[in-house]
Chain A
Amino acid sequence: MVAPTIYEQLRDRIRTEQPVGLCTVIEGPSVGAKLLIAPEQPAQGSLGDPELDRIVARDALAELEAGRSGVRHYGPQGQTTPEDLIDTDTVSVFVESFARPPQMWIFGAVDFTASLAKVAKVLGYRVTVCDAREVFATRRRFPMADEVLVSWPMPLFVQRGHELGQRDAVCILTHDPKFDVPAVMGAVDTRVGYIGVMGSRKTHAKRMDRLAEAGLTEAVRIDRLMSPIGLDIGARTPEETAISICAEIIARRTGRSTPSLRDGSGAIHSAP
């Protein structure tokens, strides 16, 4: 059997959503040379020098972890300190990261869920819909989701909460304290980058009381909640609401100041 080429390995890992990094010499002695890296696997290919390969692989794994791509400069044997790079040819390497897609977990199989799942797919999320009610949490209602789970929130957080990181999002749309209190409690114990919780200002106030009873009292943890969820753009339909939620996720990530519903007061839906 012929061994797969670098391109074929890259293609297969991208298609199966496994993280992979492609390092390419773009300036230096062997322009076009490739090194393919993946977590817990030996690097494939070579940039022309074993020591350079070792150093670039180390850096590329860190870049992959952060989901960053960019050009890095080295000496011919992977030197990185500025003194070592004086009077020597440098090698410029384009390190391209193909991180796994970000995840969005949506709790509550309601009308808003289908719209949010659709918009999240457009943005490249891997979408999980979770609800304890078997009649609502069906594949047929959410064909756009990557996964539909009939489960209470806690088992999911216990099993897979460790997977969530800065690029991921948890959106809690149930408005039912039985379900959204454990979902919030599970989410604040993860490293997830965004936690949004749906509800009117009244629902929100009641929910905060219940969350306090459940032990959510520290300001730093409460501050992670975007509740009520979404930007204050006057969204009314499920589709518009989905846009307001996703726009808030983007704004939180980029650190732009935009009017979130959380930071205002008064009715969320003014009369049309």
Chain B
Amino acid sequence: MREILDDIERWRQNGRRVAVARVVNIEGSGPRDPGAAMAVNEDGEVAGSVSGGCVEGAVVGEALAILHGDGQPKLVTFGYSDDDAFAVGLTCGGIIHLFLEPLNW
């Protein structure tokens, strides 16, 4: 969160709505620890990262769906065991649990 604050602040000052995704748990080998964070604004601009680049694209989609949809926070899991929900995996073979929410608090 520390390293994405400047971007978040700039977006907020420009009146942009922002969603934040944070790694809350890792199973097996994972590139980033809990707390790694990524922010997405309503125009699809991105700050920060939550993996080594494997799942960021899918996270942007999820974040935009929250900002342009019902605005409900949600838990999202990426990883090899997750065969139905998302066709996105981590090359390291780990499982990553993310919490996505609009920045409205």
Listed in ascending order, the chain A residues whose CB lies under 8 Å from chain B are 5-7, 10-11, 14-15, 24, 26-27, 31-32, 34, 45, 69-71, 94, 96-98
Partner of B33, one of A26, A27, A32, A69: A69
**Contact at B105–A94, with CB atoms within 8 Å?**
no
**Contact at A14–B35, with CB atoms within 8 Å?**
no
Which chain B residue has the least Cβ–Cβ distance from A94? Answer: B24
B48 nearest CB across to chain A (Å):
14
Not counting A94-B99, A97-B35, a sample of 9 additional A-B residue pairs whose C-beta atoms are within 8 angstroms of each other reads: A14-B5, A31-B73, A32-B72, A32-B101, A70-B24, A94-B24, A96-B1, A96-B35, A98-B2
Neighbouring B residues of A5 by C-beta, 8 Å? 105
**Contact at B99–A24, with CB atoms within 8 Å?**
yes
In the complex with contacts A26-B24, A96-B34, A6-B1 CB distance below 8 A:
no
Residue B82 lies at the interface, judged by CB distance under 8 Å to chain A: no
CA distance A94 to B24 in the complex (A): 6
Q: Hey, what's the 0/1 contact readout for B70-93 against A, CB within 8 Å counting as 1?
A: 001111000000000000000000
**Contact at A32–B73, with CB atoms within 8 Å?**
yes
B14 nearest CB across to chain A (Å):
16
**Contact at A34–B22, with CB atoms within 8 Å?**
no
A175 nearest CB across to chain B (Å):
36
Neighbouring B residues of A94 by C-beta, 8 Å? 22, 24, 34, 99
Neighbouring B residues of A32 by C-beta, 8 Å? 72-73, 101, 105
CA distance A45 to B105 in the complex (A): 10
Neighbouring A residues of B1 by C-beta, 8 Å? 10, 14, 96, 98
Q: Hey, what's the 0/1 contact readout for B36-65 against A, CB within 8 Å counting as 1?
A: 000000000000000000000000000000
Neighbouring A residues of B22 by C-beta, 8 Å? 94, 96
CA distance A6 to B103 in the complex (A): 10
In the complex with contacts A14-B5, A96-B22, A7-B105 CB distance below 8 A:
yes
Neighbouring A residues of B8 by C-beta, 8 Å? 11
Neighbouring A residues of B24 by C-beta, 8 Å? 26, 70-71, 94
CA distance A71 to B35 in the complex (A): 11
Which chain A residue has the least Cβ–Cβ distance from B102? Answer: A32
Which chain B residue has the least Cβ–Cβ distance from A32? Answer: B73
**Contact at B34–A15, with CB atoms within 8 Å?**
no
B27 nearest CB across to chain A (Å):
12
CA distance A15 to B6 in the complex (A): 10
Q: Hey, what's the 0/1 contact readout for B4-43 against A, CB within 8 Å counting as 1?
A: 0100110000000000001011000000011100000000
Neighbouring A residues of B9 by C-beta, 8 Å? 11
